[in-house]
Amino acid sequence: MAKKTVANLLVDTLVAAGVKRVYGLAGDSLNGITESIRTRDDIQWIPVRHEETAAFAAGAEAHLTGNLAVCAGSCGPGNLHLINGLYDCHRSRVPVLAIAAQIPSNEIGSGYFQETHPEHLFAQCSHFCEMISHSDQMPRILEIAIQTAVSRRGVAVIALPGDIGLRDAVDQQPRLHFPEPRPGLCPSDSELAALAKILNTAKKITIFGGAGCAEAHTELIELAGRLKAPIVHAMRGKEFIEYDNPFDVGMTGLLGISSGYQAVMYCEVLLMIGTDFPYRQFFPKNATIVQIDIRGEQLGRRTKVDYGFVGDTKTTLRALLPKLVDDKDDAHLKASLEHYHTARKSLDELATGNQREKHIHPQYVARVLDELAAKDAIFTCDVGTPTIWAARYLTMNGTRRLLGSFIHGSMAGALPQAIGAQVSHPGRQVISLSGDGGLAMLMGDLLSLRQLQSPVKVIVFKNNALAFVELEMKAAGIPEFATDLHNPDFAKMAEAAGLLGLTAETPDQVRPMIIQALKHDGPALVEVLVSRQELMMPPTVSLDQVAGFSLFMLKALLSGHGDEIVDLAEINLFR
């Protein structure tokens, strides 16, 4: 029997770890690995047109499954392109392994063609990054990388020179065969008693939950019922918290609404659970703040915390619930829910498709999409305005999923994440809410949809601008500059790539075009010409921002853009 190569053993080890596919772009330094994958039927090579797409796609798979996903890049520029997507994976805390191919081992350090040093380049976006320079390091170094990515929920990188991958392996089999450990983590009995005392004696409690509440929906709802507490969620917590939740009062933050903001700002005790919400200006100044997080290093890093507890949400809440009394006054909850219903009505009034209007409101597009999408649809959204519309108008139900670059904040993530979602979930409907700026940045991977025959539906919010950047400029008192986008006809571009391409130019065309795309047996793109001048106000506006808008209006007059002026008196600042 022929001896295995290091590349063969690498692929064996990935399969033993449960990996089903590797996203990447082929290159000669990856030949050993791609050849090993070619000869097998238990793992796939998923070709994409840009390595950044490979990293985002792997991150989407890891997010949806909770399992290790893998991407690869050839030496030098190839693996450099992985970095942005890997930053997103790492900051989103999803387990991803990146294989960074390296130049021939005997040329390292000589300034050779395409030479870089991956062990340095990936250090800030990974928990583990090492080079395999000897055959007898495989599979041990790879298995350490896998265990690190899985246990610490982040990125691990191995650098492998192409010639090392083709050498004979010393070991012939993977070494680790146990399933992923899933321990529960809970505060001590004395800490739980202290936490229960705080909550039992407090009157106006608001719960603020994030992505750390995944898999603990039942416990969270029971907690809110005991405490008579409204629940506010961060963006990454939306898919896990919003559904079947009679205590939901929406989001706070830049994408949120006034009810979420007020429930946080006017409580006596803010109970933060599994959230690393970054915006300090949206935390209360005078409330007692209690934080529960599985990572102790996150306690108190966003706002002052009076009581911090280390534990995972499900285990901690299960241990806490029996210690709580059930005789709370519900005045704070009722007021918060009433405010939410008012704010929700105001948002819904914006999502109209008035046939007499010339422009299409992007809110209406998101609302129609929410109505027509499958009950178990997977949505991805680009940063900026598509994330706002996703946050405010997509309804989560416990089976739908929502992905985006919500921490790293990278443009161009929606299409690559949709690819990873669709490839790993071939029976699910996958819909990308793409901005025209974000889509254009990695538009080449429309070709990947065609090549993979991946039936992703791409909805393009085309306003010919970096619209959220414009709003930020206006808030700072600066007339928009360098935000115009001279876009192509995206529907025709999609057709040229082999997709179904459709365009909605008027409100009455939105619904039929989306219906046609969703019914299409294959990839489809709907280009929707949405209004550029949509104000997306945060739940509260500072005096500095009001001053900024006033300054913008003066500068707009002086520069001849008076037709774009918005009367601040007509703006509902709580939208």
What is the C-alpha separation between 233 and 261, in angstroms, rounded?
10
Q: Catalytic: 70?
A: no
What is the C-alpha separation between 241 and 213, in angstroms, rounded?
7
Question: Is 136 within 8 Å of 78 (Cβ atoms)?
Answer: no
Catalytic residue among 468, 549, 552, 574: 468
Beta strands in 224-368 (DSSP E): 231-233, 248-251, 269-273, 288-293, 307-310
In three-state secondary structure terms, 539 is coil
Structure tokens at 221: 């709802």
Domains of the chain: 6-165 (3.40.50.970), 189-341 (3.40.50.1220), 351-570 (3.40.50.970)
What is the C-alpha separation between 220 and 229, in angstroms, rounded?
11
* pLDDT for the residue 574: 32
Structure tokens at 31: 């030949």
Q: Catalytic: 417?
A: no
* pLDDT for the residue 560: 40
Place of tokens 């990447």: 24
Q: Catalytic: 368?
A: no
Per residue of the chain (575 residues), what is the pLDDT tens digit?
A: 578 999 999 999 999 999 999 999 999 999 999 999 999 999 999 999 999 999 999 999 999 999 999 999 999 999 999 999 999 999 999 999 999 999 999 999 999 999 999 999 999 999 999 999 999 999 999 999 999 999 999 999 999 999 999 999 999 999 988 888 889 999 999 999 999 999 999 999 999 999 999 999 999 999 999 999 999 999 999 999 999 999 999 999 888 899 999 999 999 999 999 999 999 999 999 999 999 999 999 999 999 999 999 999 999 999 999 999 988 999 999 999 999 999 999 899 988 887 677 789 999 999 999 999 999 999 999 999 999 999 999 999 999 999 999 999 999 999 999 999 999 999 999 999 999 999 999 999 999 999 999 999 999 999 999 988 988 888 888 888 999 999 999 999 999 999 999 999 999 999 999 999 999 999 999 999 999 877 555 555 554 544 554 554 444 434 444 444 333 333 333 33
Catalytic residue among 6, 19, 48, 51: 51
Catalytic residue among 22, 232, 305, 383: 383
Q: How many CB atoms lie within 10 A of CB 295?
A: 16
Helical (H) or strand (E) element with 262? helix 258-265
Catalytic residue among 15, 35, 44, 114: 114
Return the DSSP state at 5.
B
Catalytic residue among 113, 215, 338, 533: 113
Q: Catalytic: 191?
A: no
Q: Catalytic: 516?
A: no
* pLDDT for the residue 566: 36
* pLDDT for the residue 540: 55
